[in-house]
Structure 1
Amino acid sequence: MSTQQILGEHTYDDRGFLARLSLFDWVWAVALLLGSVYASYHFAPWMDRYEHGILYLTWASTVAIGWMWKPARLFTIIVAVVTLFAVMRYPDLAAAESDFFLNYLLSSQAAIMWMCALFLAAPVVYFAGLLGRAAFLERLGTAMMWLASGAGLVGLLVRWWESYLIAPEVGRIPVTNLYEVFVLFAFTTGLIYLYYEYRYQTRALGGFVGLIIAASIGFLLWYHFVQGAHEIDPLIPALQSWWMKIHVPTNFVAYGAFAIAAMIGVAYLIQARMPDAWQRRGLPSPEVMDDLMYKNIALGFAFFTIATILGALWAAEAWGGYWSWDPKETWSLITWLNYAAWLHLRFTKGWRGTPMAWWAVVGLFVVTFTFLGVNIFLSGLHSYGEL
Structure 2
Amino acid sequence: MVKEVILGKGKLAQEAAKQLAVIDTNVKNEALKKMAGALVQKSNEILEANQKDMEQGKKNGLPDALLDRLLLTEDRLEDMAEGLRALISLPDPIGKVDNMWKQPNGLEIAQVKVPLGVIGIIYESRPNVTVDAAGLCLKTGNAVLLRGGSEAFHSNQALAWVIAHAAETAGIPAGAIQLVETTDREAVQVMLTMNQYLDVLIPRGGAGLIQHVLNNATVPVIETGVGNCHTFIDCDANLDMAVDIAVNAKVHRPGVCNAMENLLVHEEVAAQFLPRMQERMNQHGVVLRGCTKTREILADIEDAVEEDWHTEYLDLVLAVKVVGNLDEAIDHIYRYGTKHSEAIVTENYSTARKFTHIVDAAAVYVNASTRFTDGFQFGFGAEIGISTQKLHARGPMGPEQLTTFKYIVQGDGQIRS
TM-score between the two structures when normalised by the length of structure 2: 0.27
More strand by share: 2
The structure having more radius of gyration, on CA atoms, is 2
TM-score between the two structures when normalised by the length of structure 1: 0.29
More helix by share: 1
User: Using CA pairs below 8 Å that are at least 6 residues apart, which structure has the higher relative contact order?
Assistant: 2
